[in-house]
A and B are shown apart, each in its own frame.
Chain A
Amino acid sequence: MTVFKKLQKARYELSRVSMKKSGRNGYAEFDYFELGDFLPTVHNVFGEVGLCGVFSFDQDDKGKEWCRLRIVDVDDPAIFVDFNSPVVYAQMSKANPIQVLGATHTYMRRYMWLVALELTENDQVDALDRSSFKQQAKPVPAKTKPEQHELQNEPPIASPVESIDESTPKIDAPSSELFVEVMVKFGEVCESEQKLAQLWKVNQKSIDDLQKNDEQLFNNLKSMFGEFRTMLKEKSNGI
């Protein structure tokens, strides 16, 4: 039997076994397979058909990290099927580097096994879309003081960086007066202070030029935005 036939047989056997997804993503509201949910069954089926999975990490010539799940035919170890994926590190704001590494390994192993065995899960992109919808309704406060890293040897811990909403308009106006007018128009319709700040940030370069060249106009813009902020604060306080 070829290695492909063995693998296909293993996939078929696994599809007939009912396995419980014990992982729960409460934020995006979906269940997922944890390694412990399927690995014992996989080892059992692999033992029967004569396959063995070997998981490893590697680097290419450019230093890019890859992980590989090699499914080896135990009757002829020179015959195997490789499943490869680039490595993406887990982002955990409060974890130390070794925890990040451990989480990355667990995630990558899980995904690689799911791919190799064609185990089905809910569409996580859909799930994430739902979660980002929720996030808009209730913004998560931005972290203002990320941890400092005490040792030279220790890299910074990957933490999510708030990205600016791409729909925030960058205004390119032919005159300072028009720029201020358009800024005010967009500022008026901002639904939150966060959006107002994003509008300011995206147009920071033009605002700096305005401050340098026309302080009066800059002050007018600043005071208009001050009023918008007061209104948004009152609105959020139910006044």
Chain B
Amino acid sequence: MKVTNKFGVPETLEALANRQFYSKGKSDYSVTEIMSPPRIQRLRARHHEEIESDVADMLWSLLGSALHVVAERSEVPGHINEERLYIEVDGVTLSGQIDLQKIDGNEVEIVDYKFTSAWALRQDKIDWAQQQNIYGWLVHKIKGLNVRKLSICALVRDWSRREAQRNPDYPQAPIQMIEINLWDMAFTEVFVRDRIRQHRDAKVSADWEDELPDCTEEERWVRDTKYALMKKDRKSALKLFDSAKEAEDLLSTLDDKHYIEVRRGEPIRCVNNFCGVNQWCSQFKQYQQELSNDSL
């Protein structure tokens, strides 16, 4: 990956950004890897040398790495920091680095640190649940411990004291502990095996230069199309609808100053290039093509 420095940040940070903090150890796949969409993983591997990222955009990832380094130095009896565990699954080695294991007898609580926004904290984070449950399964399989609790220690990067005072639903402190529901171990194992299978299949497709498996709507963070009931001389919608019919039904009862504006849903991750590989992605190109056909 090419690291650029468009905003002239000190070379010290630039050098840190160039260092490879992420490692999957001596494994074929890491938990982080199998959690991400196979298409994105393959495109990143294929275009690794061409992908560009600016130091300024890597701030939170740098701070995340810094937190892990600092946490590693903490010593509390019964706590294991930053341990990488390995397991053989269907002939491949899977590894996962667990931020914190709090061991009490034959029970364990697993904690993962995450930098996140106050907004994201209030959304359903299925990927957090998936990741933590895979870690729980790893610890259970390898150490034979019973997983008592899974949690996320969320560090809210844009926390505002004022907003916390004003809104009781807003996180009340810049650090929040979020408990994750435990899945059945048998379900988790099936989930892990299925994710690995998808990645192995995608690797064969990449080697054979076949079309890569498409990202799902969830993986592309597709925002649904909305139908906005608008009124002339007013910028914001009077009401948003999920279906055109509902919007039209209401419109038919109103005067001709009202109209419907279609707010087309879009794949947020692709459009904003949060995956980092949209320029090489045939699925994204197809989406753009469909978009331009629609606007003709």
Please determine whether chains A and B interact with each other in the same assembly.
yes
Q: Does B69 contact A (CB under 8 A)?
A: no
A160: nearest residue on chain B (CB-CB)?
B190
Q: Does B102 contact A (CB under 8 A)?
A: no
Contact of B194 among A146, A211, A226 (CB under 8 A): A146
Are B181 and A197 touching (Cβ within 8 A)? Answer: no
In the assembly, what is the distance between CA of A162 and CA of B198, in Å? 10
Q: Does A155 contact B (CB under 8 A)?
A: yes
Are B126 and A164 touching (Cβ within 8 A)? Answer: no
Q: Decide: A150 near B190, CB < 8 A? Known: A156-B183, A161-B197.
A: no
Are A161 and B208 touching (Cβ within 8 A)? Answer: no
In the assembly, what is the distance between CA of A150 and CA of B123, in Å? 11
Are B191 and A152 touching (Cβ within 8 A)? Answer: no
Are A162 and B197 touching (Cβ within 8 A)? Answer: yes
Q: Please, which residues of chain A bring their CB within 8 A of the CB of B133?
A: 155
Are A148 and B218 touching (Cβ within 8 A)? Answer: yes
Q: Does A205 contact B (CB under 8 A)?
A: yes
In the assembly, what is the distance between CA of A89 and CA of B129, in Å? 21
Are B203 and A204 touching (Cβ within 8 A)? Answer: yes
Interface size on A, residues (CB 8 A): 37
Contact of A158 among B92, B106, B186, B214 (CB under 8 A): B186
Q: Does A225 contact B (CB under 8 A)?
A: yes
Are B183 and A152 touching (Cβ within 8 A)? Answer: no
Are A161 and B190 touching (Cβ within 8 A)? Answer: yes
Interface of chain B residues 173 through 199 with chain A (CB within 8 A): 180-181, 183-188, 190-191, 193-194, 197-198
Q: Please, which residues of chain A bring their CB within 8 A of the CB of B181?
A: 152-153, 155
How many Å from the CB of B53 to the closest CB on chain A? 24
A100: nearest residue on chain B (CB-CB)?
B187
Q: Please, which residues of chain A bring their CB within 8 A of the CB of B124?
A: 150-152
How many Å from the CB of B109 to the closest CB on chain A? 14
Interface of chain A residues 209 through 239 with chain B (CB within 8 A): 211, 222, 225-226, 229
B124: nearest residue on chain A (CB-CB)?
A152
Are B190 and A151 touching (Cβ within 8 A)? Answer: no
Contact of B187 among A89, A170, A202 (CB under 8 A): A89
Are B190 and A156 touching (Cβ within 8 A)? Answer: yes
Contact of A148 among B126, B183, B213 (CB under 8 A): B126
- A151-175 vs B: 1/0 string, CB under 8 Å? 1110111110111100000100000
Are A152 and B180 touching (Cβ within 8 A)? Answer: yes
Q: Please, which residues of chain B bring their CB within 8 A of the CB of A155?
A: 133, 181, 183-184, 187-188, 191
Q: Please, which residues of chain A bring their CB within 8 A of the CB of B203?
A: 201, 204
Q: Does B226 contact A (CB under 8 A)?
A: no
Q: Please, which residues of chain B bring their CB within 8 A of the CB of A225?
A: 208
Q: Please, which residues of chain B bring their CB within 8 A of the CB of A40?
A: none
Q: Decide: A197 near B28, CB < 8 A? Known: A148-B126, A158-B187.
A: no
Q: Please, which residues of chain A bring their CB within 8 A of the CB of B125?
A: 152
Are A164 and B91 touching (Cβ within 8 A)? Answer: yes
Q: Decide: A151 near B197, CB < 8 A? Known: A164-B90, A200-B204.
A: no
Contact surface of B with A, Cβ cutoff 8 Å:
28, 90-92, 106, 124-126, 128-130, 133, 144, 146, 180-181, 183-188, 190-191, 193-194, 197-198, 200-201, 203-204, 207-209, 213-214, 216-219
User: Mind listing 16 A-B residue pairs with CB under 8 Å?
Assistant: A89-B186, A142-B201, A145-B214, A148-B216, A148-B217, A149-B126, A150-B218, A152-B129, A156-B191, A161-B190, A161-B193, A201-B201, A201-B203, A204-B204, A226-B208, A229-B208
